Amino acid sequence: MVSKTYDSGEDPWLEISPIYGLTLFIAGGIYFLFKRYQRIKYRAVPFTVKVPAAASSKWTSVVIENPSLESHLMNSSLMPTARVPLLMQGIHHPGSKKADDDTPLYITCFDPSTGYHLDTISADSEYDIAEKISLARRAWAKSRWGESTFNERKRVMRSLLRWVVKNRETCARVACRDTGKTMLDAALGEILTTCAKLEYLIDHGEAALKPESRKSAPLMFYKSSKVYYEPLGVVAAIVSWNYPFHNLISPIIAALFAGNACVVKCSEQVLWSSTWFMGAIRECLAACDLPADLVQLICCYPSEADALTMSPHIKHITFIGSETVGRKILQAASIHLTPVTLELGGKDPCVILPETDLPKWIDVWLRGSFQNCGQNCIGIERFIVHSSQHDQLVKLLTEKTKKLRFGPALAEGSNDGGYVAPVDCGSMISRHRFGDLERVIQEAEEEGATVFLGGHPWKHPYVEEGMYFEGTVVANVSPSMEIAQHERASLI
């Protein structure tokens, strides 16, 4: 072996060939060029969606008398004038539950805060639902979306996030028009939550779906265990009406990021806005050179819903809604052992400990109780307070609730100054629960509770067909009363 020695005044680094430095420089350049190429290739893709006229505060329409989902049956002028393609007509084909009736079914869409007619849209039949599931299956298989890279999936998420941020006010206005909520409720419950979920998927989704190692038992030391997350195919979501944008897009982005196609059934109450939101998502997929049919929107009456929940081609179902409907979905899904995830109702309490500074927190509690007019799955449904502070809390809640201003969120203030915009609370989604709310409040009063404020529907002086219920404060409620046991999702 021969080694070279250096004198004390010599520097060994001086004899390193400059080729090494050049090689490192070229390698670094290639790395940074590759990273830049990746950023450019998978960056957000811009796209546009036409803004609906009804999103404007100056928009007006025909006021429907006592509006409902079937108002078109009482008023033929509300029927659509354009001829609807066969697939979208909602005609009941042979084999469906209503095969003896070939009359197309429609859903009347209206603004619950004003009664304005938004549109009349055809409801899906069992045949339509099966066809949309098939479209999603074919798009998923043809595009090989299940084999897509996480960078390709992040590109879709970035594009959606870019569009939501840029069009946040329009999205909020569309949600307000279809549900009667305020712009603040839409900002908190629709826009911020949606952006947060998109950012989470972009930043952490890949790590959540990467293969995970599992420890083996000592006797199995010669084996290794891993968990792999694989796409299922076509999954379904049945979502509620209280947050039409957030509830629609949340299961879609989760499904797409996991490599699945998604079929969403929206509530009949928010078909108008859901159609526009779904159109934006499909436009995003098209802009990313993906088939728009990866996502499908279904809206039907309950009699046709089994075509979705009992389909053998649906590999997972997510449901947001009541316990009663959740049980029916579980029964239907059990036929093909379809996995189901349920988010059902509750009776969320706000527990106030003794010596709490009530005036300091009263506004926060009101926001928790009356956001979205109480139609909020994580809203406060009841207060549990120490007897020493009971009367003070009731007084504060009554005084604050009495000052709340109700009205249409997108309406401008009246010239006489009687109606001032913006309002504190919008409208309820419909009137069909008003009778039950009054019954529950009356029964609680008969059983010993005290109604300090409200308890009845409220007729707006400027909006005759608006669907408003008084802000209600009920105290001295015992746990055995119905009002304390079941979710009401209202201004109580």
* Strand 295-298 to 225-227 pairing: unpaired
From residue 486, alpha-carbon distances to 11, 227, 351, 440, 457 in Å are: 83, 40, 17, 10, 20
**DSSP 3-state of 468:** strand
Which residue among 343, 438, 445, 487 is the active-site one? Answer: 343
Q: Is the dihedral angle over the CA atoms 435, 441, 447, 450 positive or is it negative?
A: negative
For residue 341, the cross-strand partners are 318
Name the CA radius of gyration of the chain, rounded.
28
Return the structure tokens found at 478: 């015992």
Looking at residue 414, the DSSP 8-state letter turns out to be P
For residues 369 and 451, what is the distance between their CA atoms, to the nearest angstrom?
A: 17
Active site residue 377: yes
Q: Which of 488, 458, 464, 460 is nearest to 474 (CA)?
A: 488
Q: How many CB atoms lie within 10 A of CB 378?
A: 10
* SS3 annotation, 98-132: CCCCCCCCEEEEECCCCCEEEEEEECCCHHHHHHH
Looking at residue 211, the DSSP 8-state letter turns out to be -
Active site residue 176: no
261 by Cβ neighbours in 10 Å (0-12 / 13-18 / 19+) ranks as: buried
Would you say 319 and 341 are in contact if contact means Cβ atoms under 8 Å apart? Answer: yes
For residue 406, the cross-strand partners are 425
CA 12, chain centre distance (Å): 66
For residue 451, the cross-strand partners are 474
Phi-psi region of 113 (alpha: psi -120 to 50; beta: other; left: phi over 0): alpha
Residue 359 belongs to what H/E stretch?
helix 358-370
Degrees, nearest 5: CA angle 225-207-136: 95
For residues 269 and 107, what is the distance between their CA atoms, to the nearest angstrom?
A: 9
**DSSP 3-state of 33:** helix
Which residue among 109, 288, 377, 425 is the active-site one? Answer: 377
For residues 111 and 119, what is the distance between their CA atoms, to the nearest angstrom?
A: 10
Active site residues: 343, 377
